[in-house]
Structure formats: structure tokens, C-alpha cells
Amino acid sequence: MRKSMLLSAALFLLLPLAAACGDDSTNEADLIGVGWSCTVDTDCPVQVCDDDATPCPQLSCLTQFTGGYCGLADCTNHEGCPVGSACVAHDDGTNYCFRTCVDKPECNTHRGTEEEANCAASVTWVPDREGKACVPPSSGI
């Protein structure tokens, strides 16, 4: 009886961890830090994207956005962006891999309230597609 109680307790404690491993809300863009605030490139995390230890694209701190934005500049299509992000033509004349979203909270997990990004449908996709992207505020630089 004691053994089955211990097993039940262990399963109860491990179940949330197992559920988190299969969480579909975490994608490559989130894991490598797309959309995080930053001040310099080294604020953007460097991680491994795939199980086979393929390096992720190296993110840069895009300081033209308020609070910085860990991302990739000069994309030409969505395939050049980490999964969970897509290529957007920004009004500054540059294309960026911005994190895709459904709601604003997805955009601001790693951003402060003064530098919140918006989950916007009014973006220009490169090439065309449906959906929304996390667009950070421009810094005016």
C-alpha cells in the first residue's frame, strides 16, 4: 500500500513536468529569444534549436526599437526566419524576422511595460501571408 502511495505521489508531481515538455506554445523563436528586449547583441541568448545540435541563427540587438529587440534583420522570406517568427517589411525600409502572435501577451514575456510590442495584423509580410506579428515600438533613431 505504501509503495503505491509513493508511486501515485511521484506521478502527481511529475505530470506537470511531462505536460510542459509537450507545450505547443513554445517555439524556436521563443527558445532563442526573438523579441526579447536588449541593449547589446550579447543580451540576446544563443541556444541550440534542434536535437541534432544545429546552431540557431545568431540574433542581433536591433537598437532602432525602443528597449531593443533581439531579432534578425534583412530577411527575404519566412523560411529565413526561426519557426514562430516571420519576415515583415518594416516602415524603416528593412525586413525583420518578427515573432508571430495571436495576442499581445505573447509579445511581451521578455519585455518591460515601457517597451511593450503590439500584436499587429497591419504588417506587410514578405511574401504575403495571414496572421499577426509582434511589432516593437520604434525608437525614433
The two beta strands, 85-89 and 95-101, are: antiparallel
Model confidence pLDDT, tens digit, residues 64-83: 899 999 988 899 999 989 89
- Helix and strand element counts for the chain (H, E): 2, 7
Backbone angles phi, psi at 4, to 5 degrees: -70, -30
**Integer Rg of the chain from CA:** 18
| Residue matched to cell numbers 541563427 | 57
pLDDT at residue 107, as a whole number: 94
CA 68 – CA 38 distance, rounded (Å): 5
Backbone angles phi, psi at 104, to 5 degrees: -55, -40
Residue 36: closest CA among 62, 55, 58: 62
Question: pLDDT tens string for the chain (141 positions)?
Answer: 444 433 333 333 333 333 333 344 578 888 888 999 999 988 988 665 565 555 566 788 989 899 999 988 899 999 989 899 999 998 888 998 999 999 999 999 999 999 999 999 999 999 888 999 998 888 754
CA 59 – CA 62 distance, rounded (Å): 9
pLDDT at residue 45, as a whole number: 80
Q: Please tell me the pTM assigned to this model.
A: 0.72
CA 95 – CA 125 distance, rounded (Å): 9
